[in-house]
Amino acid sequence: MTDAGRATPNRWKRFSDWDERPLRLDSFAVEDPANGFSAMAGARDPKPGARVVGGCIVELDGVAEADFDMIDLFIARHHLDPDAVEEAMAMPSIEAARKLVDMNVPRQELTRLARGMSPAKLANVVAHLSAMEIAFAYSKMRARRTPGNQGHVTNAKDDPLQLAADAATAVAFGFDEIETTMRVSRNAWSNALACCVGATVGRAGTLFQCSSEEAEELQIGMAGFTSYAETVSVYGTEKAFIDGDDTPWSKAWLTAAYASRGIKMRCTSGAASELLMGFHEAKSLLYLEARCLCMQRAMGAQGTQNGGIDGAPLAATMPGGVRELMAENLIAVWLDLECASGNDARSSESEIRIGAKILPYLIGGSDLICSGFGSILKYDNSFNPSLFNGEEMEDYLVLQRDFEADGGVTPVEESRVLDARRRGVEALSAVFEELELAHVDEAMKASVIAASGSRETESFMPRQVAGISETIKERGITVVDVIKALAARGFHEEAENLLALVKLRVSGDYLQTSAIVRNNRVISAVNDPNDYGGPGSGYRLSVERRAEISAIRDVLDRDEVLRAEATYEAAETRRIAYRSMGPARPGNDPDEVVIGLSPAFGLKLFRTLAGHPLSRVIEAIIAGIGQTGKRARIVRMHHTGDTSFLGLAAARLAGSGIGIGIQAKGTAVIHHKARLPHNNLELFSNAPITTLDHYCGLGRNAAAYAAGDMPEPVVVPTNGEALGARFHARVALIYAIETGLTRDGAVPEEIAVEFAGGTR
């Protein structure tokens, strides 16, 4: 029998710790090119090649014309520009890659080259770039200068009231586009009308789409409720495309169909969809996506939603999968397409992986950084959780502020959000009543306005929603009816906003590449082209935009700290009084421990970072000193606020030679008169987690040192809190208040403290 205590360990317990991390819920796959698991180097990826004879492409990426599949045929006929092929294909890939990251090579020169490049060539070029180079090239090559963002607005009940409230909220946060979809497909018309109304609150021009079945989506668009679409999916292998029940020609037909109805549209594609569908042909994610993107340009779509999309979590299981997602976005913008750059399907349970994933897009900008930021809570997202969700909105807002990067959204004050939600709910209720679709009572409204998510609402039941949706469809209600209803019920501004949006479709200005609406103006790659050419060019934060991004909630300033302290002052005055007894003299009593207070202690500052009233802290220290019969004497220092010098100066005044230095924020030290300033006996540096018991122990230990003993040091246990993040802004402001009161050479002052219970 082996003694259990001596058993050879069979595991480093750190692995058990790691097992508990959210990261371990993610799955990872080995690279297996033959089975389609390769980000950029598929087993059967072709060598780049294209041959033109008599103005026709007769060979493409190693395939002769006679063997072209329908995708090759579409790309050969509609993507490749025979005049550009020879030059572009002859250029060494590394040279083209260098041009992508060369700020002196204009974007137009590169988009011209891309028109002559085959899918394998495009993939081959971007594969030469590191993740950082891809991010930089993306920032240089994206079509529109001003970055934007798109939000999802859905809920688990398809509750129209909540959709209206959340659409109004998403507009307040500044999303350029909002997208909804349904839990139950027959609710499409209700969802569309509800979001359409909610999105009129506060501002005109937020583009809106209702992702649904192709024919229905187009009909909803024609009724005027929606203004864009991004459901036209394409796939990179012939079999996957056919399995998706389409061809490049049928999708091109739809592409024109949306434009013919004045509706903005982009296609959708993304890494790993072919792998998920079982038709990958042993080709890499990147090569197949390059084919998809060439087709989209060939179809004449103004843009794409790519960067993994539903396949992003699968791409992220592979080595280099996340870099591949960036690379495919780069090909999209290199092909001069608007890019709604994915960052939607949540690709990890690890918040670190999520934060890392978004960063290149946040700092580099993108036409739509997320093609669905979940503006709602995860469980309410009918598309499945996004990379970022309602839960993490403030994290994202802070990232914008950290990096001074425009992530396309704006912090909003609490009261403004509440107003927007109320207005959205009231507007929809009015429309429902005016159009005799439903009656909304006050309790329903109240529950939705305040609700963070649908689990908190008492609103429409699913059957009612289905009825409303069917009525809208059957009665042929259009956006004109909605505008009239809004105006008739006094929602004049909302009616005007909705009309302004619908009017955009008459001119078709937003059919151009990368179009969004800002301040009632269409901006696109035509009138706001990305002109990046190095530092000082391209998109830069304006002073106003920087101020907007910086205005997150609950920021500290000096006045705020002083105001907070002032609220504690009154209570402290009732508990303790500090009476000046004149200049402090050195003591002779060997039983005496001197407590050296900082200049602002109890005068301008009244509690420690842990929130303890300073009166209680002094009381605890005095009690600790008194436990073994020693005596505390209190002195206020005016020459320093530094803990070490407070302690050393106190020690030099003490008959025992032992002193305690303490700052108002609670940082404390035990010192001996003969020691060097920074070589103290004990330091209590973690004020935010130092308890009154610890302060009592501090006094007790100081007394023990005074008695010549060597006590066990007091340990303030830490759980690894990021105390700097939590407190340093306050510490800096507080400490400045201490140092502001110091005077060079000022002598220590003897203090008698009087507690409410009596003098000590």
Neighbouring C-beta atoms of residue 455, cutoff 10 Å: 12
Task: CB nearer to another protein: give 315 or 431.
Answer: 431
CB 268 within 8 A of CB 244: no
Tokens standing for residue 84 = 């550009």
Catalytic residue among 190, 371, 386, 469: 371
Distance, CA of 293 to CA of 282 (rounded, Å): 19
CB 303 within 8 A of CB 255: no
Task: CB nearer to another protein: give 514 or 690.
Answer: 514
HSE-CB at 658 with a 13 A cutoff on CA atoms is 26
Q: Is 371 a catalytic residue?
A: yes
Task: CB nearer to another protein: give 395 or 509.
Answer: 509
Tokens standing for residue 618 = 């002094």
Q: Is 219 a catalytic residue?
A: no
Name which of 283, 334, 330, 284 is nearest 306 in CA terms.
330
Angle subtended by helix axes 285-299 and 321-334, to nearest 10: 20
Task: CB nearer to another protein: give 486 or 687.
Answer: 486
Cα separations in angstroms, 142 against 139, 332, 337, 345, 538: 6, 8, 8, 22, 10
Phi, psi of 642 (to 5 degrees): -75, 130
Annotate 453-501 with three-state secondary structure. Answer: CHHHCCCCCHHHHHHHHHHHHHCCCCHHHHHHHHHHCCCHHHHHHHHHH
Residue 587, helix vs strand vs coil = coil
Task: CB nearer to another protein: give 186 or 239.
Answer: 239
- Find the shortest distance in angstroms from Cβ 170 to another protein: 24
Distance, CA of 472 to CA of 477 (rounded, Å): 5
Task: CB nearer to another protein: give 452 or 520.
Answer: 520
Q: Is 158 a catalytic residue?
A: no
The per-type count for the chain, helices as H runs and strands as E runs, is 29, 21
- Find the shortest distance in angstroms from Cβ 38 to another protein: 26
Q: Report CA 423 to chain centroid distance, whole Å.
A: 26
Task: CB nearer to another protein: give 230 or 592.
Answer: 230
What amino acid is encoded at 288 in this protein? Answer: L
Which H helix or E strand runs over 518? strand 516-518
Q: In the chain, what is the greatest distance between 2 CA atoms, to the nearest angstrom?
A: 108
Q: Is 216 a catalytic residue?
A: no
- Find the shortest distance in angstroms from Cβ 265 to another protein: 10
DSSP characters over 203-241: -S--EEEE---HHHHHHHHHTTS--EEEEEE--SSHHHH
Catalytic residue among 305, 347, 375, 512: 305
Q: Is 162 a catalytic residue?
A: no
Task: CB nearer to another protein: give 246 or 289.
Answer: 246
- H helices of 554-613, where? 558-575
Q: Is 150 a catalytic residue?
A: yes
Distance, CA of 577 to CA of 600 (rounded, Å): 14
- Find the shortest distance in angstroms from Cβ 521 to another protein: 7
Sheet with 50-53, side-by-side order of all strands: 50-53, 56-60, 63-64
Catalytic residue among 93, 139, 150, 347: 150
- Find the shortest distance in angstroms from Cβ 62 to another protein: 18
- Find the shortest distance in angstroms from Cβ 207 to another protein: 15
Distance, CA of 649 to CA of 615 (rounded, Å): 22
Sign of CA dihedral 609, 614, 618, 619: negative
- Cβ within 8 Å of residue 316, ≥6 positions away: 26, 308, 322, 325, 347, 348, 353
Cα separations in angstroms, 555 against 395, 558, 559: 14, 10, 11
- Cβ within 8 Å of residue 235, ≥6 positions away: 241, 243, 244, 269, 273, 274, 277, 279, 288, 292
Sign of CA dihedral 459, 462, 464, 465: positive
Where on the chain is the footprint of another protein (CB under 8 A)? 69-70, 73-74, 77-79, 108, 111-112, 214-215, 218-219, 222, 224, 238, 242, 245-247, 249-250, 252-262, 297-302, 336, 478-480, 483-484, 487-488, 492, 495-496, 499, 502-509, 511-513, 521-522, 524-527
Neighbouring C-beta atoms of residue 643, cutoff 10 Å: 26
Name which of 300, 301, 276 is nearest 288 in CA terms.
276
Query: Which residue has tokens 């030059």?
Result: 87
Catalytic residue among 45, 59, 61, 152: 152
Task: CB nearer to another protein: give 352 or 480.
Answer: 480
Task: CB nearer to another protein: give 250 or 573.
Answer: 250
- Find the shortest distance in angstroms from Cβ 247 to another protein: 6
CB 453 within 8 A of CB 380: yes
Q: Is 177 a catalytic residue?
A: no
Catalytic residue among 159, 176, 177, 344: 344
Task: CB nearer to another protein: give 20 or 245.
Answer: 245
Task: CB nearer to another protein: give 506 or 715.
Answer: 506
Catalytic residues: 150, 152, 179, 230, 305, 344, 371
